């Protein structure tokens, strides 16, 4: 699974399938626990947020780069993070005119690899944890964003598109609390 010498830091790699199955079991359990699909989406986003606020430290430690000059650089960093942590290579596209919104487009979504959404969960945002993670991570570097899925392979779209919108710079220090 892990090739020797491919990473400078010692990380223990886990099979992608195991990760997908674990995440799937998690989502299935949350779906059983909560009554409404909206609640499930919120929970997944919250969980993602909690992952994001922690993982940003690790990301910055590994990449050792400085501040982003503008939102476009931020987008590139987010793209790099997907490659680093999930071995996913989204393309950054669909910039808004004011350069405050962009899309990450994934050809395929490995964490939803074997998933078929049942009819009664048609509104489930299965990978909402990713949206939360982006929101949490960027909040820690004082950028408030909103992230959501504009398109989803699981819902029949040809690609999965995650849209990120810049809301504002956070001037005060954000307390790193759990929601």
Would you tell me which residues interact with another protein (CB under 8 A)?
Answer: 17, 20-21, 24-25, 27-28, 31, 113-118, 121
Q: Least distance to another protein from the beta carbon of 33, Å?
A: 14
Neighbours of 166 (CB within 10 A): 20
- Which tokens sit at 132? 């939360």
Encode burial over 94-124: b for 16+ CB neighbours within 10 A, e otherwise.
eeeeeeebbbbbbeebebbeebeeeeeeeeb
CA-based torsion, 76, 126, 133, 61: positive or negative? negative
Q: Least distance to another protein from the beta carbon of 34, Å?
A: 14
Nearest CB to another protein, comparing residues 22 and 94: 22
Q: Least distance to another protein from the beta carbon of 135, Å?
A: 24
Q: Least distance to another protein from the beta carbon of 2, Å?
A: 23
Nearest CB to another protein, comparing residues 124 and 134: 124
Which residue in 104, 11, 95 sits closest to 59, CA to CA? Answer: 11
Nearest CB to another protein, comparing residues 154 and 164: 154
């Amino acid at each position: 699974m892990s090739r020797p010498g491919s990473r400078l830091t010692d990380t223990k790699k886990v099979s992608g399938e195991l990760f997908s199955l674990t995440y799937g079991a998690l989502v299935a359990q949350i779906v059983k626990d909560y009554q409404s699909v909206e609640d499930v989406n919120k929970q997944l986003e919250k969980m993602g947020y909690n992952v994001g606020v922690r993982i940003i430290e690790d990301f910055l430690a590994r990449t050792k780069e400085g501040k982003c000059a503008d939102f476009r650089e931020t987008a590139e960093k987010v793209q790099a993070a997907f490659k680093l942590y999930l071995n996913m290579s989204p393309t950054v596209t669909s910039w808004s005119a004011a350069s405050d919104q962009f899309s990450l487009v994934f050809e395929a979504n490995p964490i939803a690899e074997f998933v078929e959404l049942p009819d009664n969960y048609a509104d489930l945002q299965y990978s909402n944890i990713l949206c939360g993670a982006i929101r949490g991570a960027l909040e820690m570097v004082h950028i408030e964003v909103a992230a959501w899925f504009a398109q989803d392979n699981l819902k029949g779209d040809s690609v999965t598109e995650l849209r990120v919108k810049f809301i504002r710079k956070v001037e005060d220090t954000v307390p790193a609390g759990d929601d």
